[in-house]
Amino acid sequence: MKNISSKAPKAAFSTRAIHSGYDSDTENGALTPPIYMTSTFAFDSAEQGGARFAGEEEGPIYSRLGNPTQSILETRLADLEEGEAALATASGMGAISAAFWTLLAAGDHIVADKTLYGCTFALIEHGLKKFGIEVSYVDCCNVEEITAALNENTKLVYFESPVNPNLRVMDIQKISDEVHRFNSEIKVIVDNTYCTPAIQQPLMLGADLVVHSATKYLGGHGDLIAGAVVGDAETIQRIRFEGLKDMTGAVIAPMTAFLIMRGLKTLELRMQRHSETALIIAERLQQHPAVEVTYYPGLPTDPYYDLAKQQMSLSGGMLAFELKGGLEAGKSFMNKLQMIKRAVSLGDAETLCQHPASMTHSTYTPEQRLAHGVSEGLVRLSIGLEGVEDIWQDIERGLLA
């Protein structure tokens, strides 16, 4: 007789990224999850419809609330991030705004890192503040600054790690511990877009919620716009029925959910390749006479190297640098590139280059960029899946400028 353990060991990350949340036997043997292109769902009876609306029975109602294709994706994302539940949305900003509008009200206070993705910063400055929500921007690398900013009205602490675009790294465990020691009800939210769960799992380090722009590495092919928020089941349910259903309407399309699941199948492999190539490029940039400074947590000389090694399994595919000559040198570099595309976004198979001050972080004023750590001459690279020597040859062409 076989000795079967009462609890089977958890499957590897790559296995779960391919199989979690789906049983082909329930879908006529279809190897790939079907795409449910329907807006609404029929009920067996009036009683069943009422039970589903009352939350007494599980099952699809209307695709603004959820869709079977979306549900498989959400189960898979929650599994990979080690969360209880997930919500997929129409964009990364849809995920962030749905979470914010659910968890915040007039008079509340949030603490946010001084450097944020430009649209997140704009949401806070042009959205939350308009409705009486206060914000304190601090250097989240300094946990003491966070704790000093907390007060009785604080509801959220929000940051990215690593940070877009200057690659600062936050001590997620220490921040979460100190914030929850002050008030266990405060939600610590981490934007994990740069790392993905293949490299870093903030919920395992004490964070309450994780948000993603699934447009980036989760999709991985530059052919979709989507987002996700992962956390405990109760909070995710609130965000689904308040922030998503009633306040933003940022509903993901079934085809988009399907494409993200396709991307997840190769996520671990892609993140390994992105990271390996990015480290080589960062090492070469660091040694180049035209480069003033290189920002990449995988470099032993980087100030965040030790912390990154503790909470990240790889160093990721994003890097940034400043050239001697500042802004004009950066523009000259970008205009000389041939293979590398001048484009915003990140996490694609193609290597992308952009100038944050005039592009993704242009929502900041020049004074705000200076205060928030986004220099005018910073150049950001999203390292793709091309051959490393081909990427470097194009970079060298730009550096000659």
Confidence of residue 7 (pLDDT cuts 50, 70, 90): low
**What residue type is assigned to position 64 of the chain?**
R
Which one from 52, 216, 273, 380 is the annotated catalytic residue? 216
Pick the CATH number of 13-264 from 3.30.470.10, 3.40.50.920, 1.10.10.10, 3.40.640.10: 3.40.640.10
Compute the chain's Rg from CA coordinates.
22
Active site residue 341: no
Which one from 36, 117, 158, 194 is the annotated catalytic residue? 117
Tokens 């511990």 found at: 177
Active site residue 331: no
CATH superfamily of 268-399: Aspartate Aminotransferase, domain 1 (3.90.1150.10)
Average pLDDT value for residue range 15-30: 96
Active site residue 44: no
pLDDT in tens, 181-213: 999 999 999 999 999 999 999 999 999 999 999
Average pLDDT value for residue range 211-229: 98
Confidence of residue 401 (pLDDT cuts 50, 70, 90): confident
- Alpha carbon distance 73, 59 (integer Å): 16
Active site residue 117: yes
pLDDT at 366: 79
Which one from 191, 208, 302, 394 is the annotated catalytic residue? 191
> Do 13-264 and 268-399 fold alike per CATH?
no
One-character DSSP codes across 162-183: SPTTT-----HHHHHHHHHHH-
Average pLDDT value for residue range 252-273: 98
pLDDT in tens, 127-147: 999 999 999 999 999 999 999
- Alpha carbon distance 277, 318 (integer Å): 10
pLDDT at 368: 75
pLDDT in tens, 141-168: 999 999 999 999 999 999 999 999 999 9
Domain boundaries along the sequence of the chain: 13-264, 268-399
pLDDT at 345: 93
Which one from 16, 62, 64, 245 is the annotated catalytic residue? 64
Confidence of residue 6 (pLDDT cuts 50, 70, 90): very low
Average pLDDT over the chain, rounded to an integer: 94
